[in-house]
Amino acid sequence: MSELHTVNKSPYEKSSFDSCVGYAVAGSAILLMEDGVYAAMQGGATEAKVKSAQGVKFYALGPDMKARGLSEDRVIEGVEIVDYAKFVDLAEEHSKVVSWV
């Protein structure tokens, strides 16, 4: 079984991102959405955590990045930018969705 986790809070405001990373077992994925997309950006406090998460694939929701003026060029290496259609695919491909609201 592999899980899709979603994080919708800024890592600078809430602990959801850290908690989620702690619960993401190898083979699972984390989708950063809404204010969670700030965790996908280079140079911030989350970069090392994203890069060191073993066997966990990170995604960021493109429409939320665009809305917030975040450039795709500055996304942490390895984070894949997706749209809502791909969000649906990810929910389908993983055996369940865990929301870190």
Partner 1 sequence: MKFSIQINEGPYQHQASDSAYMFAKAALEKGHEIFRVFFYHDGVGNSTRLTTPPQDDRNIVNRWAELGEQHNLDMVVCVAAAQRRGIVDDGEAERNGKDATNIDPRFRISGLGQLIEAAVQSDRLVVFGD
Partner 2 sequence: MSESIKKLMYLNRRAPYGTIYAWESLEVVLIGAAFEQDVSLAFVDDGVYQIVKGQDTAEVGMKNFSPTYFALGGYEVTKLYVEKESLEERGLTIDDLMPLTWEDEDDDWAEKDSIRLVSREELAEVMAGQDVVFSF
Binding site for partner 2 (CB under 8 A): 1, 3, 15-16, 19, 22-25, 28, 95-101
Name the residue type at position 90. L
Rounded least distance, CB 50 to partner 1, Å:
21
Q: Among partner 2, partner 1, none, what does residue 44 contact (CB within 5–8 Å per kind)?
A: none
With beta carbons less than 8 A apart as the criterion, state whether 33 and 6 touch.
yes
Dihedral-angle region of residue 64 (phi above 0 means left; psi in -120 to 50 means alpha; beta otherwise)? alpha
Q: How far is CA 46 from CA 38, 40, 61, 71, in A?
A: 9, 7, 16, 17
Q: Which positions lie near partner 1, rule CB under 8 A? A: 8, 33-35, 63, 83-85, 87-89, 91-92, 96-97, 99, 101
Rounded least distance, CB 95 to partner 1, Å:
9
